Amino acid sequence: CIHPINLLTLYSEGMKSRHWCIPWLTNSSLLAWTTLICLLSAVSSFSITSMDFPPPKDYSHLIFETKEDNTKWFHERGPLWQGQAFSLQIKEVLYHQKSLFQDVIVFDSVHHGKVLVLDGVIQCTERDEFSYQEMMAHIPLYAHPDPKKVLVIGGGDGGVLREIARHPGVEEIVICELDKDVIDVSKKYLPFMAKGFDDPRVTVNIMDGAKFMEENQSSFDVIITDSSDPVGPACVLFETPFYKAMHGSLREGGIICTQGECVWLHVDLIQPLVKAIIPLFTTVEYAYCTIPSYPSGQIGFIIASKGGKGCKVPTRTPEASVQKELRYYTPDIHQASFVLPAFAERAIFGCER
């Protein structure tokens, strides 16, 4: 949930919240920058705070009023889903300011409840956010036999924290979010998600997650990366020190879960990520969930383990009281989420089906 302070930050911090907006770069200059970063990352840890970037762009133009009936709409368009768009009718704009890193909008919609938008892209809606938050958290947590210490990178809206807090056996929950404004805005306007910050096990760090992991080796049972999409050539993000830092910060038997894009739109990004992670981790798998307010109504997860037998089958199941509160995750859908359409399995894993 961060605007690109620099390209390495967003490449290295993996792939949520579904958008990576760099309005001041052309396609050719983006290619040049990403190539440079690939070279830099191969030889050093390259501080993500070493480069200053222009202030965030304003996205007011995505809010418009129709002439026919004077209704107000938010119209989402993005470079990772060119040729298609998604619109929500606005009841009231509750907040629109720029943080140090990005343009932040919160509005109350007619049919989707409260909506958080970062740099012009919908991060969550009150109507369907639970599907992403539950699967992002519970797949790795229920795949692990006894998670005690969990790290979240990004996730400043608090939704993933809310789901982790449902696990009584977890003793410590650490979050690294670079943009404090996202946390503050979510606490004020999205309390149904931000209540995750209220759990006493949660420790908040306003800092770069890659740096934190490098300083905390072999420390976590589960690491969940909930951050922005890459744009442009994908190979560079697979060579950055970030993924090695994730592996290094895991305890033996640990599991990572990162946002894995959309199989209908981004197999060209997913496949190189999977290929790059395979040498680092014992198992690398791909799961997905449906969520209507994300492009093409689907988003995936890269699930990788350091030791163990994989994550397709949960080793634990929710208590009955917890399961009644969940609206998407079940042990059955945990297993089903790893069953990919033939085209996706061929493209991502090279399987002949």
d(CA 74, CA 59): 10
d(CA 61, CA 72): 12
Pairing of strands 298-305, 220-226: unpaired
Q: How many CA atoms lie within 13 A of 18 on its CB side?
A: 24
Q: Which residues form the catalytic set?
A: 226
In sequence order, the 6+-apart residues with CB closer than 8 A to the CB of 93 are 63, 72, 105, 106, 107
Spatial CA neighbour of 230 closest among 17, 58, 46, 56 = 17
Spatial CA neighbour of 139 closest among 295, 291, 335, 274 = 335
DSSP conformational letter for 151: E
Spatial CA neighbour of 122 closest among 291, 326, 287 = 291
In our burial notation (b when 16+ CB lie closer than 10 A, e otherwise), range 190-209 reads bebbbbbbeeebbebeeebb
d(CA 228, CA 5): 12
DSSP conformational letter for 201: T
Distances (CA, A) of 15 to 176, 180, 223, 299: 15, 19, 14, 11
